[in-house]
Amino acid sequence: MSSPNIAASLESGLNKRRTAVKLGGAALLLLSFQTLGIIYSDIGTSPLYVLNGIWPASGDPPSKEDVIGGVSAIVWSLTLIPLIKYVFISLLFGTQEGEGGSYALYQGLYPPDHHDGNLDRTLTGDSYKVASHKNSTISERFRLPLLAWGLLGTALTIADGIFTPAVSVTSAVGGIAVAKASVSTKITPISIVILLVLFIAQRFGTSRLAFMFAPISCIWFLLLASTGLYNITTHPGIFRAFDPSRAVLLFVRTGNYDILAGVLLALTGCEAIFANLGQFNALSIRACFFFFRSKFESQLMATQMSFAGFVYPSLVLAYLGQGARLIEDGDAVLSNIFYQTIPGPANGALFWIVFVFAILATVIASQAMITATFSLVQQLVNMKALPPLKMSYTSETIQGQVYVPAVNWTLMVGTIVIVAAFSNLSNLTNAYGFAVATVMFSTTILIAVSMRWVKQWPAFIAFGYLLLWGFFDGLFWGASLKKVPLGAWVPLMIGVILMLFMSFWTWAKGLEDKFDGDHRENIRHFIFPENDQDEENDEDEIEEAGGGGGRHQSEGCEIPLQGRRTQRGEGRGRDTTSYKAPNMRRVPQARSWSRSPSHIYWYISRFIRQWPALPRVVIFLNISVVPVARISIEDRYAITKVRTVQGFYGVTAYLGFREKFDIKADEIIERICALELELDPRQLSGNVDQIRAVARSTTHIAPHYHVVSKDVDAGRFSPIINWVRKYLIEDIYRRLATMFPETGNWLSAEEIIRVGINAKI
């Protein structure tokens, strides 16, 4: 990316924000094809185990009417949940950055403030925040419960990322036992080997994996559709399943509410459609679920479409075909309905073709929730709900396509443990459905709230949506709740633990940010504490002097300090005690400080108190990751001279999301010298020579907070609460913050000196 005006365009805080990917033409078609191998692979492998989830192999074969009713429940569930709720509604509620999932819905309700990254504004006291685009007028009193609900949904989606590979791969490998019964005892070790290969391959990135997986998924859906069509010919009466009353009559006739827990398995993977939004975009996801022609404005659906489907019809045909064969053959196919209903003999060519593609498809199906987990973790890290984990961006065009090594290996270990611990597929599916149902319920509630307070839609639309889809999600959730004693407690436990940790990190980070804001102040108020009424005159003189040459610039190497602080911080928690400082010397050194603007002030003030001297050249370096893959050298840096302090410079280094930042101190110094020559072409002050002289010894410092828990007054429980508080903040949060520094994604430890700043929070 190279443009002479890129730095100027990126100076706008909003322009530096990541936005949803917008593609068209061949690029959109290619991206849509890739969604087959990532997003729809999970829901596409559900036919492997859904009907056996409703009618277990150990039970009696169902009656003809029961089969039609069960297939009807599956078909209409696919229509109402994945198709209408997720493909056509949920994708409208992604964030401005193009992310989806439960936490993205919460972020839409309470969008964060975005900093523009201009360090000089902090140094000169100007406003540094870009106002958030916030349509929501929802009350702040709902923030905490909605945050908890969003975190729970996100945590259970991540837990689903552990169970999806386990269930999908184990169910596919189980097909070996149909043709080779002697191999049935080796299903678990074979599944573990396949999972190891899958997780090792994650480092190649979403785009490469999608290119490899999409053709396989395409063939898999064609096999589902073609075998389904053939099986339907054995009992065409199965088309009665399109009548929704058949599903209602099934539950009325049998009174078996547990059937819904089996039907729910047909919907596993639907949350990946929304959670993977950041990996692709809304248009590509819709285009793959249904091929259509339509007019779109800002990636929103228009009203006129003509449909010719692929994923959805393939799944419907597969379930109809399995139902038809189950009606005709009964006991003969009940042991493994998917594999036993493959046309032809058990050891025939078609059987082994379908088996091979079933294995490949289930490996790919695991990819849907793995990439969704990466995308969710990226959201959580950006919103400070998780520590800043190391991320690797794998696409040149889509910033949402990330690989998170720590998450990948954690998922791998968790999945292998689950496969080994749950001895058979029935136990796994019992544990699987609960997380899916809870996430669906969480999404429904948050979307209904977003309809009213983010989209500003009429209340009756939001209420109608909540009533309809809340009813269906509630039915599924209630059915899966009965599975908690049978194994569903495992994903629930994982989800609750993750939610508690994310809540803890959000709380602790919030305390640090509050301390950050309470102690934010203009640096010149510390170095030059004039009376407030003189400040405007001072600034005028400084500007006339060319940005730093006014009466604050002392002769020689000394800067006189008046020895007191201004009272601008009163009432905001700042330290307003007087401080008597000696004359400050400017030492022949160059130092670069890299951190958030507020940390820089706090560090500089402490630095001056402990060592009353300043380097001749002080650079405040801000790293700004922009939503493009790479930035050219010419556009890398934006230099600002701090007007009020001689030798102070603000440098914003723009970093493409795929670049590893390399601090080029010499290049920054040359840019600063060029700026000085532009301000003072005759160089009467000799600034350029002085800067080049001291630049030989440049130190890069990254200050960070060394947090300490402060005592709070909680009445008689104060000793206990303060002990717990101290343990959480100092023994857990502080250690994790040290292990996962915020600079870890763009600065290596060898390039910087990390300095802790005491912060009592």
Give the lowest-confidence range in 92-106, 119-133, 140-154, 163-177: 119-133
Tell how strand 402-403 and strand 698-708 pair up.
unpaired
Model confidence pLDDT, tens digit, residues 5-26: 444 444 444 344 544 445 444 5
% of the chain residues with pLDDT over 70: 68
Highest mean pLDDT among 162-166, 498-502, 606-610, 637-641: 498-502
Q: What is the pLDDT of residues 193-251, one digit of tens each?
A: 888 888 888 877 766 666 677 788 889 999 999 999 999 999 999 999 999 999 999 99
Is the distance from CB of 755 to CB of 702 less than 8 angstroms?
yes
Q: What is the pLDDT of residue 179?
A: 58
* Predicted confidence (pLDDT) per residue in 374-420, tens digit: 878 888 888 888 998 888 877 666 666 788 888 999 999 998 988 88
Q: What is the rounded CA–CA span in Å between residue 566 and residue 528?
A: 9
- Summarize the chain as % helix, strand, coil (round to 5): 60, 10, 30
- Domains (ranges, CATH) in the chain? 6-511 (1.20.1740.10), 520-760 (no CATH)
- DSSP sequence for 176-223: HHHH-GGGGGGHHHHHHHHHHHHHHGGGG-HHHHHHHHHHHHHHHHHH
698-708/753-760 β-pairing:
parallel
Confidence of residue 343 (pLDDT cuts 50, 70, 90): very high
Please, which residues have CB within 8 angstroms of residue 482's CB and are 6 or more apart in sequence?
257, 258, 261
> Helices (DSSP H) in 482-634: which residue ranges?
489-518, 523-527, 535-544, 597-610
| 4-18, 137-151, 347-361: least confidently modelled range | 4-18
pLDDT in tens, 424-451: 666 676 677 788 888 888 899 999 999 9
Give the pLDDT of residue 638. 85
Lowest mean pLDDT among 150-159, 371-380, 493-502: 371-380
**pLDDT of amino acid 757:** 77
pLDDT in tens, 641-684: 877 777 888 888 887 766 776 667 778 888 888 888 888 787 76
Q: Where are the alpha helices (DSSP H) in 611-661?
A: none
β-strand pairing of 584-594 with 698-708: parallel
Q: CB of 619 within 8 A of CB of 637? A: no
Residue 531: CB atoms within 10 A of its CB come to 9
Torsion of CA 478, 479, 482, 483, to 10 degrees: -130
AA identity, residue 423: S
**Which of 541, 19, 87, 63 is CA-nearest to residue 292?**
87
Look at the chain and count its residues: 761
Concatenating the DSSP letter of every residue in 93-162 gives G--TTS--SHHHHHHHHSPPPEE---HHHHHHT---EEPP-------GGGHHHHHHHHHHHHHHHHHHHH
Q: Give me 211's structure tokens.
A: 């290119």
Q: Assess whether pLDDT exceeds 50 at residue 327.
A: yes
Concatenate the DSSP letters of all residues of 58-72 into one string. TSPPPPHHHHHHHHH
Of 703, 513, 522, 741, the residue nearest 595 (C-alpha): 703
Mean predicted lDDT score pLDDT of the chain: 75
Rg, C-alpha atoms of the chain? 30
- Predicted local confidence at residue 292, as pLDDT: 39
Q: How far apart are CA 511 and CA 513, in angstroms?
A: 5
Measure Cα distances from 92 to 20, 164, 293, 380, 588 in Å: 12, 25, 18, 20, 57
% of residues, the chain, pLDDT over 90: 20
Q: What is the pLDDT of residue 206?
A: 62
d(CA 72, CA 387): 45
